[in-house]
Amino acid sequence: MKNIVLFASGSGSNVENIVRYFQDKNNSVIISVVLTNKSDAKVLDRCNNLNINGLYFNRNAFYATDCVRDILKNINPDLIILAGFLWKMPEKIIKDFPSKIINIHPALLPKYGGKGMYGNNVHKAIKANNEQETGITIHYVNENYDEGAIIFQAKTQINSSDSVEDIANKVHELEFEHFPKTIEKLLFEV
């Protein structure tokens, strides 16, 4: 049995997609908890609807104490998945779980990465620079934003007529298709 912990800051569409993927396909994966840094995050509503444990923590619990770190140590997950989580992971947690923390980024890293580059900020920059393609990058988390080793990338073409919303929708399709499969592969690689 493999167990995973998910972190999210927003609506939780990727969280729901991952939960449903493993509920439908593989009953040897348990989502132990979904952790969020926003008390009003929609991901908590999704957790309730999916019958998954959801837990809010504040900045102090994450950075100034070992509260979140202790939760993770007690669970000892096979993978920690950042699915739309916007805070930088504390170095202590990264050191406690080497090569066990992964993130999804809505662009083809190393382009359009770094602090503040998330969601529509990324899509707007891609549109402004008249890029002809974009995609997703699933990567390991290290001490720097979006600089961990790349695990997987998928691309999609952009038309000059695509709006920022069109670009976001194309990226979400890639996320929904590839994120759960990549997680599964990492969990069950020999």
Above 60 in pLDDT, residue 190? no
pLDDT average, residue stretch 22-49: 92
The model's confidence at residue 74, banded by pLDDT at 50, 70 and 90, is: very high
DSSP string, 115-172: TT--HHHHHHHHHHTT-SEEEEEEEE--SSTT-SPEEEEEEEE--TT--HHHHHHHHH
Residue 132: which CATH number?
A: 3.40.50.170
pLDDT average, residue stretch 169-178: 97
pLDDT average, residue stretch 95-121: 96
pLDDT average, residue stretch 80-89: 96
Which of 84, 172, 189 is closest to 134 using CA atoms? 172
The model's confidence at residue 28, banded by pLDDT at 50, 70 and 90, is: confident
Domain ranges, residue 38: 2-188
Query: Which residues have a Cβ under 8 Å from the Cβ of 74 and sit 6 or more positions away?
Result: none
What pLDDT is attached to residue 26? 59
The model's confidence at residue 27, banded by pLDDT at 50, 70 and 90, is: confident
pTM exceeding the 0.85 threshold for the entire prediction: yes
User: Active-site positions?
Assistant: 105
Count of domains for the chain: 1
Q: What is the mean pLDDT of the chain?
A: 95
